[in-house]
Structure 1
Amino acid sequence: MIREFQISDTQIVMQLWIAGNEDAHSFIAKEYWQANFEEVEKQLLKADTFVYDLNGEIKGFIGLMDEYIAGIFVDKAYRSQGIGRQLLEYVKQLHSTLSLNVYQKNERALRFYRENGFTIVSKQNDEHTGEIEFTMIWNKNKVE
């Protein structure tokens, strides 16, 4: 079941965030994610965040700042089971347009977003990591 994030979810959501970033972005030093942990935790409390709750345990989440998807994270043991897609479909029902940034080297995420109707609109270097990233957009009015 998908539900709104609650303050009591913070610890597990942040564990999913750090583990997911370290796993999906092996091309970026783990220290980068660890150095940003506290700031992301502060931003999490300001974001619109929804969690995937399976029998009382959080297995994934999606965080948005307005119509910008800050990230989708799913517990490694539960990936490729449709949780990320369900979270994405949930927020698609709430918005007519969504955007996000994804690293070029994160091929799995790039493929996932393309399969779910997102298109690349720009390419740039992430000033913090030096990695190439794409900005992608989804629009409800565009036929998928």
Structure 2
Amino acid sequence: MIRAYRATDIDRILEIWFAASLQAHHFIAPEFWQSQLENMRHLYLPAAETYLYEQDSEIVGFCSLYENNLAAIFVIPEKQGQGIGKQLLTHARSCRESLTLTVYQANEASYQFYLSQGFKVIGEQVDEHTGCPEYLMYG
């Protein structure tokens, strides 16, 4: 079930974001993700439109939209590969006419996921926070 985010969900969302970030972004030091927890809590999540995926009354994934940008889509690692990300992406697309997103070039699994969902690369850039190259995608 997908539902809107509530402020009481913040700790679970941060757990998912941190665990999935460590797994997907092995090329970035874990300390970076740790350093971003408070920004996620106080800046990024409050500014975004966020939806959660619940399975058996447990939050197992989420997506966040900021304007027409898919700012985040994360599924707890042990639940990945079960179609939850696709359902979250479908929901995000139902909220906007089109979406842009960025994905690290070294995050091959996520890059392939977005390609499989019809996104196209429209540019390349370097993430200002990590210095890692990323693709800008549209779909």
Q: TM-score w.r.t. structure 2 length?
A: 0.96
In 1, the alpha carbon distance for the partners of 2:119 and 2:20 equals: 21
Contact 2:70 2:92 in 1 (8 A): no
User: For 1:1-144, what aligned pairs fall within 5 Å after superposition?
Assistant: 1-42=1-42, 43-138=44-139
- Give the distance between the partners of 1:127 and 1:59, measured in 2 at CA: 29
Give the superposition deviation at 1:56.
Answer: 1.2
Select the structure that is richer in helix. 2
Deviation at 1:8, TM superposition (A): 1.1
| Matched position secondary structure for 2:74 | strand
The alignment covers a number of residue pairs equal to 138
What percent identity do the matched residue pairs reach?
A: 39
Task: Compute the displacement of 1:90 (Å).
Answer: 0.7
Moved over 2 A (4+): none
**Partners in 2 of 1:68 and 1:40 — Cα distance?**
16
TM-score (norm 1): 0.93
Q: What CA distance in whole angstroms lies between the structure 2 residues aligned with 1:29 and 1:131? A: 12
CA deviations on 1:80-106 (whole Å, 9 max, x unpaired) are 000000000011111111011100000
Q: Which consecutive unaligned segments of at least 5 residues does structure 1 have?
A: 139-144
SS in 2 for 1:45: helix
TM-fit CA distance, 1:46: 2.0
Structure 2 unmatched ranges of 5 or more: none
CA–CA distance in structure 1, aligned partners of residues 101 and 108 of structure 2: 15
Residue 142 of structure 1 is matched in structure 2 by none
Shift of 1:45: 1.7
